[in-house]
Amino acid sequence: FCLDMHTKDAAAAGESATRLHLVAVWREATVFTEAERAALELTEQATRTADAAEGVTDEVWANAARHYDEEQLSALVAIIALINAYNRVNVIVRQPAGDYVPGMFG
């Protein structure tokens, strides 16, 4: 559900289809800024806990800190954690995807 919702909201807000399609291969894509790539890497390490039980590496954190100040990093960490929590809830309740309409929640 979250992927359905956020890709549709991003498209409705003007994000390009190319960038939305290439998020899955962000490491190989040339359409993301260095700051966006740092945020994506931080998000990936924070999310894929089965792959990295030790958490976010110092290198990834330092790279993100080069692009974002303390307040921005705090916001990024909070939104990563929140979206991960929403994803877990959707898995638990088996929330189906595909029916989301941009703006349906306000």
Give the domain range for residue 37. 2-92
Count CB-CB contacts under 10 A for residue 101: 11
What is the model's pTM? 0.88
Question: Is residue 40, in this structure, part of any structural domain at all?
Answer: yes
In this structure, which amino acid lies at residue 14? G
Question: Is residue 104, in this structure, part of any structural domain at all?
Answer: no
Question: Is residue 101, in this structure, part of any structural domain at all?
Answer: no
46 vs 43: CA distance, rounded Å: 5
Q: Work out how many domains the chain is built from and give that number.
A: 1
Say what the pLDDT of residue 18 is.
Answer: 97
Question: Is residue 99, in this structure, part of any structural domain at all?
Answer: no
Q: Which residues contact 76 (CB under 8 A, 6 or more apart)?
A: 39, 42, 43, 64, 68
Question: Is residue 100, in this structure, part of any structural domain at all?
Answer: no
pLDDT tens sequence across 52-106: 678 899 999 999 999 999 999 999 999 999 999 998 998 899 988 888 899 888 7
Nearest residue to 40 via CA among 11, 2, 7, 67: 67
CATH of the domain at 74: 1.20.1290.10
34 vs 68: CA distance, rounded Å: 11
